Structure 1
Amino acid sequence: MEESRLRDDICRWGASLFNRGYTAGSSGNLSARLPDGFLVTPTNSCLGFLEPSRLTKLDTAGRLVSGDPPTKEVPLHMAFYEARPEAGAVVHLHSTFATALSCLADTDPEDALPPITPYMVMRVGRVPVIPYTHPGSADVKPLILARAAEHPAVLLANHGPVVSGKSFEAAVFAAEELEETAKLVLLTRGLPQRHLPSDVVSELRRRFGS
């Protein structure tokens, strides 16, 4: 996809996520891979009011090329791109239900979201919880590198979800699916949940390859 189109898409989807309450204020950040580097949302920017010309452009090593200064969360984005060469985009939100799940002490650190819907399995897969690091800390990079090769999405403990996708649209759709599944998990908390059988989960993973 040409760079100008991708810049427009980042701003359009950013506004959509903000307007629907998936992230608030200046929280959350987005990125996309280019042939010669990456586009990233600027530091302290609101996803609802992004401007294509002001998006940050980084080279393949993560150094600033043009645009406003980048989000402080560049290390977590770069970790996903390094671990997943097929990743075309990364979406990090502070969406309410996924973030709530990341704050619960009994959330399974190996798989935060049980397989209660097929679309969660198809679009997201298993979601491990990454131990807490300060926002923007480079300490998060080795923690993500250790998990991201096998997992396209993670929950940052006490922070929120990070989701990768082959395209920007795919990453957004997966982030939305993760948030909606977290909502279902919390709404049914304490009730007798019915999970998808393991053979169904295996078949979904084989066919759709999240």
Structure 2
Amino acid sequence: MSDARAELAAAGAKLAALGLSPGSSGNLSVREGDRMLITPTGADLGDLDPAALAELSLDGEHLGGPRPSKEFPLHGAFYRRDPATTAVVHLHSRHASAVSCLQPWSERSAIPPLTPYFVMRVGQAPLVPYAAPGDPAQAGALAALDFEFRAALLQNHGPITAGTSLAAAVDAAVEIEEVAALLLGLGQHRPRLLEPAEIHELTAKYGTPWDA
């Protein structure tokens, strides 16, 4: 059994333990060359069987294993956008999902630069217009965005993150949930946001995208 399968199961257990994957919601994938391993449809992320993952081509052809999550087109869109991407995490975490129901802060980021950790670990995260779960058109809309990003909010749905490692994608998903909780907790209060020079210092050091 490959290390990637075990890592995917461990990541699912971690996210479930943090309360970020209620019920059978959410899906994870890792890229191995020209294919991806993705969680099955209806899977409980807290109880994944490493031997029972779906195997797909990057274009979505089912190569083996159980029926994949219906959200596989979104995963493929991230992999095709950037060859350096090796993992994708999609959750229905409560606070980030709530923020996905609000008007975006800007065209390129639904969430403002509220904390240095959001800028460092996530970077700008656009709001992708609503589509029914599994609709390939939403993956097309994500793929068509002509600026750099490694995370997004799916409108009225939830967050999705990509990373050059599974750990990075998981960390970004956790950070989006944290900053979303802070944003909602501020309510009608007008927060101090990071200044452009402060953002530039962080993005230059950590390599995250931000031109929002």
TM-score range, shorter chain: over 0.9
Deviations 1:50-107 (A, max 9, x none): 1000011113432222211101101111011111111010000000000000112465
Three-state SS of the structure 1 residue aligned to 2:29 is strand
Which amino acid letter does the alignment assign opposite residue 129 of structure 1? L
Moved more, 108-117 or 192-201: 108-117
Moved more, 105-114 or 82-91: 105-114
Equivalent-residue separation in structure 2 for 1:133 and 1:181 (angstroms)? 24
Matched, 1:42 2:57: no
The structural deviation recorded for 1:188 is: 1.1
Determine the structure 2 residue equivalent to 1:23. 21
Q: CA RMSD in A?
A: 1.5
Deviation per residue, 1:166-203 (Å, 9 max, x gap): 00011000110111011111111212311111111012
After the TM superposition, which of the residue ranges 94-103 and 36-45 deviates more from structure 2? Answer: 36-45
Equivalent position of 1:138 in the other structure? 136
Q: Is the 8 A contact 1:30 1:40 kept in 2?
A: yes
User: Deviation string for 1:148-176 (max 9, x for gaps)?
Assistant: 75110010000000100000011000110
Partner deviation per Cα, 1:106-161 (whole Å, 9 max, x = no partner): 65443211112111111111111000011001111221112375110010000000
Matched with 2:99 is 101
Q: Does 1:52 align with 2:50?
A: yes
- In 2, distance between residues paired with 1:202 and 1:71? 37
Whole-Å separation in 1 of the counterparts to 2:122 and 2:37? 23
Residue identity in the other structure for 2:122: V
Unaligned ranges ≥5, structure 1: none
User: 1:61-210, aligned counterparts within 5 Å?
Assistant: 61-105=59-103, 107-147=105-145, 150-210=148-208
Amino acid at match of 2:192: R
Asked whether the equivalents of residues 91 and 164 of structure 1 are also in contact (C-alpha less than 8 Å), the reply is: yes
Opposite residue 206 of structure 1, the aligned amino acid is A
SS in 2 for 1:139: helix
SS of the residue corresponding to residue 28 of structure 2 reads strand
SS at match of 1:26: coil
Structure 1 residue 45, shift from structure 2 partner:
0.7
Structure 1 pair 85–92 and aligned structure 2 pair: CA distance change class (3 A): same
Q: Structure 1 residues 16 and 59 mapped into 2: Cα distance closer, same or farther (>3 Å)?
A: same
Q: Which amino acid aligns with 2:126?
A: P
Cα distance, 1:35 vs structure 2: 1.9
SS in 2 for 1:39: strand
Residue identity (%): 44
SS, match of residue 119 in structure 1? helix
Is the 1:109–1:130 contact (alpha carbons within 8 Å) kept by the matching residues of 2? no
For residues 78 and 63 of structure 1, the distance between their equivalents in structure 2, rounded to whole angstroms, comes to: 10
Task: Give aligned pairs, total.
Answer: 208
- TM-score between both structures, scaled by the size of structure 2: 0.93
